[in-house]
């Protein structure tokens, strides 16, 4: 069994398509889990939502999803992000907005919990350093917690004896077994707008029987997504950052 784990798609349908194709070539995908921020930033919000609906994906809420659906304040967003949120809301139909409005904050499947940002603040906190991760370990009960939000492919492992937390960057092809790893946070990275210096789309495959998570990156047509963003008159800054993954 193979579950495709994606996060922070951000309306980048070409990146999502590349991830779908690449993952299907590695394993027959039985299910899709999305860790939030389906929309915001990119040019194809409706197509990304439709992709998830068609595959009956499990999806939780991200800050951009809820802002577009008018369920979260827009004040925490910078101007380009805010402009993209307004643009996105204007380009979704009622059914797509209803999809965003119905997203839960967190879900649990056996040893794995899913939340967009952190157990402490499900849509806002950035789990970027070991200290923030350490403070969040007591706030979920499962062995692993899958998160998104920072757009960095990283994991935080807690030493079961000492409680110390170490941060590890996930490299493409790296496999994380649940057995013997202690408790950990795992961020597959962003499909549609990576910020960790690697512009390729990021994702993971979770195999519940093998109890492993494997991280992957895949190239997609960045220039075509940028062309679509320019045609939609989305903010220049959002267009440019796709070129370097920052
Ligand atoms: Zn995001």
Domains in the chain, start-ordered, CATH in brackets?
3-243 (3.60.21.10)
Separation of 4 CA from ligand 1 center, angstroms? 18
- 157 neighbors 181 (Cβ within 8 angstroms): yes
Q: Global pTM? A: 0.97
Residue 64 Cα, ligand 1 centroid: separation in angstroms? 7
CA 239–ligand 1 middle distance (angstroms): 15
**CA atoms of 185 and 170, how far apart (whole Å):** 12
CA 150 to ligand 1 center in whole angstroms? 7
Q: How far is the CA of 37 from the centre of ligand 1 (A)?
A: 5
CA 10 to ligand 1 centroid distance, Å:
7
**How many angstroms is it from 41 CA to the middle of ligand 1?**
9
Mean pLDDT value across residues 11-28: 98
User: From the CA of 148, how far away is ligand 1's center (Å)?
Assistant: 7
Phi, psi of 106 (to 5 degrees): -155, 155
Centre of ligand 1 to C-alpha 40, Å, is: 8
Residue pLDDT, tens place only, 154-201: 999 999 999 999 999 999 999 999 998 899 999 999 999 999 999 999
What is the Å distance from ligand 1's center to 170 Cα?
A: 18
User: Ligand 1 centroid to 80 CA: how many Å?
Assistant: 13
pLDDT 10s digits, 31-69:
999 999 999 999 999 999 999 999 999 999 999 999 999
Give dist(CA 99, CA 81) in Å, integer: 21
State the distance from the centre of ligand 1 to the C-alpha of 50, rounded, in angstroms. 18
Check residue 4 and give its pLDDT. Answer: 98
The Cα 216–Cα 203 span in angstroms is 5
Q: How far is the CA of 96 from the centre of ligand 1 (A)?
A: 18
Tokens found for residue 120: 């402490």
Helix (H, G, I), strand (E, B) or coil at 89: helix
Residue 101 has a pLDDT of 98
């Amino acid at each position: 069994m193979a579950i495709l784990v994606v996060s922070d798609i951000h309306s980048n349908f070409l990146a999502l398509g590349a991830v779908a194709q690449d993952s299907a070539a590695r394993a027959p995908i039985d299910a899709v889990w999305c860790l939030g921020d389906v929309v915001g930033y990119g040019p194809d919000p409706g197509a990304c939502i439709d992709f998830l609906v068609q595959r009956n994906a499990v999806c939780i809420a991200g800050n951009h999803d809820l802002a577009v659906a008018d369920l979260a304040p827009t004040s925490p967003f910078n101007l380009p992000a805010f402009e993209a949120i307004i643009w996105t809301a204007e380009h979704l139909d009622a059914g797509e907005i209803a999809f965003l409005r119905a997203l839960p904050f967190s879900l649990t499947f056996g040893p794995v919990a899913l939340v967009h940002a952190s157990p402490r603040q499900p849509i806002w906190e950035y789990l970027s350093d070991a200290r923030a991760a350490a403070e969040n370990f007591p706030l979920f009960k499962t062995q692993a917690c899958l998160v998104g939000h920072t757009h960095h492919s990283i994991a935080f492992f807690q030493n079961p004896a000492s409680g110390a937390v170490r941060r590890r960057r996930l490299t493409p092809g790296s496999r994380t077994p649940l057995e013997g790893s202690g408790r950990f946070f795992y961020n597959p990275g962003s499909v549609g707008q990576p910020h960790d210096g690697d512009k390729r789309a990021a994702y993971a495959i979770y195999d519940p029987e093998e109890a492993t998570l494997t991280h992957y990156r895949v190239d997609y047509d960045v220039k075509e997504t940028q062309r679509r963003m320019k045609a939609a008159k989305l903010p220049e800054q959002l267009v440019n950052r796709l070129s370097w993954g920052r």
